[in-house]
């Protein structure tokens, strides 16, 4: 063990001396290797960034990995009310119901009919929310029927109102969907529900409110009385449509029980270990006649799905980076062979004073491995700096969050690439160094 | 008393691109600890080949080579490297100092060779003691380019002495030096034999050879004792 340690130390000391003695060559080796290692680092960093960006979106819109999702259909009367009551006040499970609402002047066409994003043409959100054309229904004393939007638009004047998706929550959804607060505060579920619903709007809705001056009057779909909402915060929820979040209990102050079952079901988010509440919910719903097989709690497994999607792309790009790295390896190999050729006497002399062949090979490998490590450090530094610069320049201009930290996986990939390149580039020179005949010093 | 070095009928044939050439055809040599031996001979007579075999750079084709009575004629390279490190010190005609290292670092080369490990402080103490022994401790930090030929050869001698080997092998160590500096280097080497080291000196210089305890001539592949009165310096130098 001591001998091994001594050899390792000797190799590092002598290798370090060799690098210091041939700074220009070391620099040239680093230059030849740099692009290859940088390519590996960038591909890995890019893959991680894409992974994180995709994962972040999915976490916001679907849920964190491990979250279990159960859908409670409104088909059975009382099922939604039972679900909301079961989930109320719980921290390990949250129920979400959705409806559409219009905030602004009453009796006018909103500036974004159908709850479309403000910079797009109307009609967009139907697809986003899964409804499709004709999905929006209107119910009155004559029964329920699809809304004839064209006719509706012709009959009503245009005005200052914003249509948005209203998501009502039984509890704090942030542990399941980590919306990023942009301003104000999130919903407080500990207080007594207010008759003036507090709402947190997303960035798109906030854009609409900033652009259009609308009065604070909220018309909720299927409700005859208008509420006065209070906007208490803005979040980034990854949703491109204008959306608002409110407490279920504050919404239900305005929604009659008879309208509740028209709201399209309860999306239930369960913590990975929330089996007790799941059993209770299941039992109550089955008791109401909901078929047990409809009550499936499917876990979110976004990371695995994304990684599988990105694996092929990552492999292709890593292959290209590997080719660039090979060119660098050829460069370091060339420099290594030339250097060993020049150091024949030194290696023969070292053998004469008792240096074993393995250590001579180790010295050459130590030099190329250290060169590979220096290159990796330089490539990681440049990539990290570039990420910061690009992030600061493009911040807010792309949907991908560019303010991310430099991924450690890219650093590890860079170090591994540097070491592998050093090993490949140094192997043949190391073997040659070990084979230099010792008698060279005698014949000189 | 078991001799330190014992060659018994050692043969060596060089097989190059040309006809195989027998260089050593039965060399017998015995060297005791503390003894100094000079080997004279014409160029191409096999002096360096002999030294290569004694220094374990090469192996004999035939005969036996013993150190302390142990036959090492066929030892593997790994063990030979360990023996070279522990038992031998080498001085060559060319100094073979690494120009990017200081005098002290050149001497330390023999300590940083993968044969055991010495902490930095102990290594430095040994290096300085070796440089002191050859009288150039004050030049420890100088690089070879800043040293004269004699000083460089003394650094090489210090490198040979730093592990305190029992055997010193010197292959024409004064060949690149003027007479005065050469004498100085020979004196340093000879001084080492007073501490119990054996010295084998290959030289063309009779004046240096006769300072050794025993003078041998390699001729026709075998060693012969040389009487001071039987040779002329011009003959040796040819």
pLDDT at A131: 41
- Cβ distance B94 to A444 less than 8 Å, yes or no, reads yes
Alpha-carbon distance values, A303 to A48, A52, A58, A386, A394 (Å): 11, 9, 9, 26, 26
CB contact under 8 A, A354 and B92: no
Task: Tell me: pLDDT of B189 over 70.
Answer: yes
Nearest to A353 among B77, B109, B117 (CB): B109
Name the band, by pLDDT with cuts 50, 70 and 90, for residue B72.
very high
pLDDT of residue A143: 64
The strand order across the sheet containing B222-225 reads B88-91, B167-171, B198-202, B36-40, B214-219, B222-225
Please check whether residue A5 touches B, CB under 8 A. Answer: yes
Does residue B11 sit at the A interface (CB-CB below 8 Å)? no
**What DSSP designation does A227 have?**
B
DSSP assignment string, A345-408: HHHHHHHHTT--HHHHHHHHHHHHHHHHHHHHHHHHHHHHHHHHHHHHHHTTTSSS---PPPPH
Within 8 A of B159 by CB-CB distance, chain A residues are: 353
Chain A nearest CA to B130, separation (Å): 15
pLDDT, chain B, mean: 89
Q: Helices (DSSP H) in A73-198: which residue ranges?
A: 79-87, 125-128, 149-155
**Calpha distance A110→A159 (Å, rounded):** 6
For chain B, say whether A346 makes contact (Cβ under 8 Å).
yes
How many whole angstroms separate alpha carbon A282 and alpha carbon A271? 15
With CB atoms and an 8 Å threshold, state whether B115 touches A345: no
CB B18 within 8 A of CB B66: no
Q: How far is B11 from chain A (nearest CA, A)?
A: 17
**A354, B115: Cβ pair inside 8 Å?**
yes
Going by C-alpha positions, the residue among B192, B152, B147 that lies closest to residue B169 is B192
> Which residues in chain A are contacts of B101 at CB distance < 8 A?
17, 21
Cα angle: A63, vertex A64, A67; to 5 degrees: 80
Gap from B187 CA to chain A (nearest CA, Å): 22
The alpha-carbon gap from B117 to the nearest alpha carbon of chain A, in Å, equals 5
The architecture that CATH gives domain B5-100+166-237 is: 3-Layer(aba) Sandwich (3.40)
Query: Which pLDDT value is given to residue B236?
Result: 47
Give the single-character DSSP code of A293: G
CA B138 to CA B146: how far, in whole Å?
A: 13
pLDDT in the model for residue A406:
83
Question: By the CB < 8 Å criterion, does A155 face chain B?
Answer: no
Q: Are A161 and A112 in contact (CB under 8 A)?
A: no
Test A356 with B86 for CB contact under 8 angstroms. no
Contact A357 B77 (CB under 8 A): yes
Q: By the 8 A CB rule, do A194 and A218 touch?
A: no
Q: Which residue of A has its CA nearest to B76?
A: A356
Nearest CA in chain A to B100: A21
Per the CB < 8 Å rule, is B51 touching A442? yes
* CA A318 vs CA A119, A326, A354, A423: distances in Å: 38, 12, 43, 19
What's the Rg (C-alpha) of chain B? 18
The ipTM value here is 0.89
What span, in angstroms and rounded, lies between the C-alpha atoms of A195 and A360? 83
Cβ-Cβ contacts under 8 Å, B93 against chain A? 444
pLDDT score recorded for residue A400: 56
The C-alpha atoms of residue B97 and residue A229 are separated, in whole angstroms, by: 87
Q: Are A5 and B117 a contacting pair at CB < 8 A? A: yes
Residuewise pLDDT in 10s, chain A (444 residues) = 445 577 888 888 888 888 888 888 889 889 888 999 999 898 888 888 777 777 777 778 788 888 999 999 888 888 888 999 999 989 999 999 988 899 988 888 888 888 889 886 544 444 444 444 344 556 666 666 666 666 666 666 777 899 999 999 999 999 999 898 999 999 999 999 988 999 999 999 999 999 998 888 898 877 778 889 999 999 998 888 999 999 999 988 888 777 777 778 899 999 999 999 999 999 999 998 888 888 888 888 877 777 787 788 888 888 888 888 898 899 889 989 998 998 999 999 999 999 999 999 999 999 999 999 999 999 999 998 988 888 777 765 555 555 567 888 889 999 999 999 999 999 999 999 999 988 766 655
CB contacts, 8 Å: B116 with chain A: 2-3, 6
What the block records as the tokens of A127 is: 């697809």
Candidates A10, A352, A442; nearest CB to B114? A10
Q: Sign of torsion, CA B95 B97 B99 B101?
A: negative
Q: Is A435 on the interface with B (CB under 8 A)?
A: no
List the 356-375 stretch of A: residues with Cβ below 8 A of B. 356-359, 362
Q: Flag whether residue B15 sits within 8 Å of chain A, measured between CB atoms.
A: no
Is B75 in CB contact (< 8 Å) with chain A? no
Span B113-130, average pLDDT:
91
Q: In terms of CA atoms, which chain A residue is nearest residue B79?
A: A356
Substitution target in B114, B163, B166 with the highest count of A β-carbons within 10 Å is: B114
Residue of A nearest to B47 (CA): A442
Q: What is the distance in angstroms between the Cα of B86 and the nearest Cα belonging to chain A?
A: 8
Q: How many residues are present in chain B?
A: 238
Match 């109307």 to its residue by tokens: A122
Rounded Cα distance between A202 and A185, Å, is: 12
Which residues from A are below 8 Å from B171, CB to CB?
442
pLDDT top residue among A301 and B111: B111
Asked if B197 and B165 touch (Cβ cutoff 8 Å), the reply is: yes
Give A167-186 as a DSSP string. Answer: EEESS--TTTS-PEEEEE--
DSSP secondary structure code for residue B84 in this structure: H
Query: Between residues 25 and 54 of chain B, which touch chain A (CB distance below 8 Å)?
Result: 48, 51-52
Q: Do B115 and A6 touch (CB under 8 A)?
A: yes
Q: Read off the pLDDT band of B105 (50, 70, 90).
A: very high
Range B71-86 average pLDDT: 92
3-state secondary structure at position A268: strand
Q: Any bridge partners for residue A68, and if so which?
A: A270, A299
B76 to chain A nearest CA, in Å?
11
Q: Could you read off the pLDDT of B22-68 as tens digits, one per residue?
A: 899 999 999 999 999 999 998 888 998 999 999 999 999 999 999 99
Cβ–Cβ below 8 Å for A442 and B57: yes
Is the minimum CB–CB distance between A351 and chain B shorter than 8 Å? yes
């Amino acid at each position: 063990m001591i001998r091994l340690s001594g050899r390792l130390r000797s190799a590092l000391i002598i290798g370090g001396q060799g690098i210091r003695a041939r700074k220009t060559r070391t620099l040239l080796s680093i230059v030849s290797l740099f692009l290859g290692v940088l390519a590996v680092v960038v591909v890995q960093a890019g893959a991680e960034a894409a992974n994180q960006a995709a994962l972040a979106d999915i976490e916001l819109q679907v849920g964190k990995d491990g979250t279990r999702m159960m859908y409670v259909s409104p088909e059975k009367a009382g099922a939604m009310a039972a679900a909301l009551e079961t989930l109320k006040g719980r921290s390990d499970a949250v129920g979400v119901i959705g409806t559409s609402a219009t905030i602004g002047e009453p009796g006018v066409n909103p500036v974004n009919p159908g709850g479309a994003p403000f910079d797009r043409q109307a009609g967009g959100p139907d697809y986003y929310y899964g409804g499709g054309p004709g999905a929006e229904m209107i119910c009155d004393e004559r029964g329920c029927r699809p809304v004839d939007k064209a006719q509706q638009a012709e009959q009503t004047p245009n005005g200052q109102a914003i249509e948005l998706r209203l998501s009502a929550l039984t509890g704090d959804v942030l542990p399941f969907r980590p919306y990023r607060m942009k301003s104000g505060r999130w919903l407080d579920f500990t207080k007594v529900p207010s008759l003036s619903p507090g709402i947190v709007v997303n960035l798109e809705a906030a854009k609409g409110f900033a652009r259009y001056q609308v009065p604070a009057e909220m018309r909720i779909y299927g409700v005859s009385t208008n509420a006065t909402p209070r906007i208490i915060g803005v979040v980034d929820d990854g949703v491109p449509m204008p959306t608002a979040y409110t407490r279920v209990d504050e919404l239900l102050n305005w929604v009659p029980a008879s309208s509740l079952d028209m709201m399209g079901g309860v999306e239930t988010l369960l913590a990975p270990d929330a089996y007790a509440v799941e059993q209770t919910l299941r039992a109550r719903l089955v008791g109401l006649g909901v078929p047990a097989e409809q009550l499936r709690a499917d876990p979110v497994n976004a990371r695995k799905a994304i990684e599988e999607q990105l694996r092929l792309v990552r492999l292709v790009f890593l292959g290209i980076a590997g080719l660039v790295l090979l060119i660098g390896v050829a460069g370091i190999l060339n420099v290594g062979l030339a250097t060993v050729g020049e150091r024949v006497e030194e290696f023969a002399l070292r053998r004469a004073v008792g240096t074993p062949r393995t250590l001579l090979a180790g010295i050459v490998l130590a030099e190329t491995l250290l060169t590979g490590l220096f290159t990796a450090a330089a490539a990681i530094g440049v990539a990290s700096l570039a990420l910061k610069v690009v992030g600061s320049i493009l911040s807010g201009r792309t949907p991908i969050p560019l303010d991310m930290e430099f991924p450690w996986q890219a650093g590890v990939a860079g170090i591994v690439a540097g070491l592998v390149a050093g090993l490949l580039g140094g192997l043949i020179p190391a073997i040659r160094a070990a084979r230099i005949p010792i008698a060279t010093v005698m014949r000189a | 008393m078991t001799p330190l070095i014992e060659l018994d009928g050692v043969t060596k044939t060089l097989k190059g691109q040309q006809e195989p050439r027998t260089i050593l055809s039965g060399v017998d040599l015995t060297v005791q600890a503390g003894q100094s031996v000079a080997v004279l001979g014409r160029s191409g007579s096999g002096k360096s080949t002999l030294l290569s075999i004694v220094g374990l750079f090469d192996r004999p084709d035939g005969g036996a080579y013993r150190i302390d009575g142990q036959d090492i004629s066929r030892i593997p390279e790994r063990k030979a490297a360990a023996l070279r490190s522990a038992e031998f010190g080498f001085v060559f005609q060319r100094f073979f100092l690494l120009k990017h290292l200081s005098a002290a670092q050149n001497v330390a080369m023999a300590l940083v060779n993968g044969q055991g490990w010495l902490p930095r402080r102990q290594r430095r103490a040994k290096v300085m003691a070796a440089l002191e022994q050859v009288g150039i401790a004050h030049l420890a930090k100088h690089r070879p380019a800043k040293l004269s030929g004699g000083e460089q050869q003394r650094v090489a001698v210090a490198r040979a002495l730093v592990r305190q080997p029992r055997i010193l092998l010197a292959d024409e160590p004064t060949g690149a030096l003027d007479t005065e500096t050469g004498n100085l280097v020979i004196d340093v080497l000879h001084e080492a034999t007073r501490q119990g080291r054996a010295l084998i000196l290959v030289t063309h210089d009779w004046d240096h050879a006769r300072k050794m305890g025993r003078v041998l001539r390699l001729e026709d592949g075998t060693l012969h004792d040389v009487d001071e009165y039987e040779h002329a310096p011009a003959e040796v130098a040819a």
